[in-house]
A = this chain, B = another copy of it.
Amino acid sequence: SKRYTITLLPGDGIGPEVISVATNVLKLAASLEGIEFDFQEMLVGGAALDSTGLPLPAETLSAAKQSDAVLLGAIGGYKWDKNEKHLKPETGLLQLRAGLQVFANLRPATVLPQLVDASTLKKEVAEGVDLMVVRELTGGIYFGKPRGFSVNENGQEIGFNTEVYATHEIDRIARVAFETARKRRGKLCSVDKANVLEASIFWRKRVMAIASEYPDVELSHMYVDNAAMQLVRDPKQFDTIVTNNIFGDILSDEASMITGSIGMLPSASLGESGPGLFEPIHGSAPDIAGQDKANPLATVLSAAMLLKYGLGEENAAKRIEAAVLDTLSRGYRTGDIYSSGNKLVGCKEMGEEVLKSV
């Protein structure tokens, strides 16, 4: 039987609740495929700040690096909102991404037939949306230098950041995106602001260069402002989107909201080699933390991505995906996706129902 080491990072807010449910589902689905796990739970984010003074303790990063995959709940909360930048929970997440070198962030946004009514978009617009945002995750303005605060030549205070991309950073994310599109419907849309930014002109140039390796994938380019519009106008036009870190942050959140059920959406962050990082795209939801109200399905589906993209265990991944769909078809809903006629359940009960469907 196969054995993998998984680092669990429950984090803050609803993190621990959803991680607990997802871990149980992961164990059961994998065991049916003869897979076993060693789990190691570590601190990150606000939880780590409170007990170690750092948002990403060195032990956490080294444990994560030595494991086969990392499953994260959520980080952040009002409590730490006023912290200085290097002591923010978010900084721990950015350090984790950088430390694991997970440069490719895959964020699917899918409207499930069972949940089409959850979208604020008209049924005919939302129905059938199935897109994937491939976001560059360890470069661009998030990490670019120089950055900071200073005084300019007129004696005025300034705050500044650098948007910068190098050849290999664009080439590798482009390849992941073309590979992703190839396994989907064969259409890739690269989003940039090449009518204004040099960083985008260079991005577009490299994406076009890499395109020659993928003649079977249909490549298009779109400006980011237009992409933000087109996601609202007709999200079905998109298959795979590839974009930089900051545009990906914005567009993937917009795309997720278009599905109406961000409590359902997982993500995978992958590197060249080494463990991937898997996490729901929703946040820590401090207002409902500890109340057994959170929707655990985004984390459960992140566990499925962990199996598929992190460990190459497609069969076990499919068991989880099928179990989630079955549970929804049986009418179970947490509050965020509830509509009348369905059965309202809490986080734990949703987990138990998914286990029954595995």
Residues in A lying within 8 Å of B, measured CB to CB: 85, 88, 90, 94, 120-122, 125, 141-142, 144, 147-149, 152, 154, 156-168, 193, 195-203, 224-226, 228-234, 246-247, 249-254, 256-258, 262
Contacts and interface: CB of A to CB of B under 8 A. Distances in A.
A159 B203 contact: yes
A156 B141 contact: no
Nearest to A154: B166
18 contacts: A90-B196, A120-B122, A144-B160, A149-B201, A156-B167, A160-B162, A160-B164, A161-B198, A161-B199, A193-B249, A225-B249, A225-B252, A228-B228, A228-B257, A229-B254, A229-B256, A229-B262, A230-B257
List the 4 closest pairs (A to B, CB-CB), nearest first.
A159-B202, A229-B257, A160-B164, A228-B254
A286 to B, nearest CB: 14
B249 A232 contact: no
B254 A120 contact: no
Nearest to A156: B166
B159 A198 contact: yes
Contacts of A162: 160-163
A164 B159 contact: yes
A149 B202 contact: yes
Given A228-B250, A233-B120, A158 B164 contact: yes
A196 B160 contact: no
Number of copies of this kind of chain in the complex: 2
Nearest to A201: B159
Contacts of A121: 120-122, 232
Contacts of A160: 144, 162-165, 198-199
A249 B233 contact: no
Contact of A195 (B88, B148, B157, B252): B88
Q: Which residue, of A90, A164, A228, A234, has the highest number of chain B Cβ atoms within 10 A?
A: A228
Given A232-B257, A247-B250, 7 more contacts: A120-B125, A120-B233, A121-B121, A148-B198, A163-B163, A228-B228, A230-B257
A152 B166 contact: yes
A244 to B, nearest CB: 11
Contacts of A125: 120
B253 A226 contact: yes
A12 B193 CA distance: 20
Nearest to A76: B195
B198 A224 contact: no
Nearest to A203: B159
B202 A161 contact: no
A93 to B, nearest CB: 10
Contacts of A252: 225
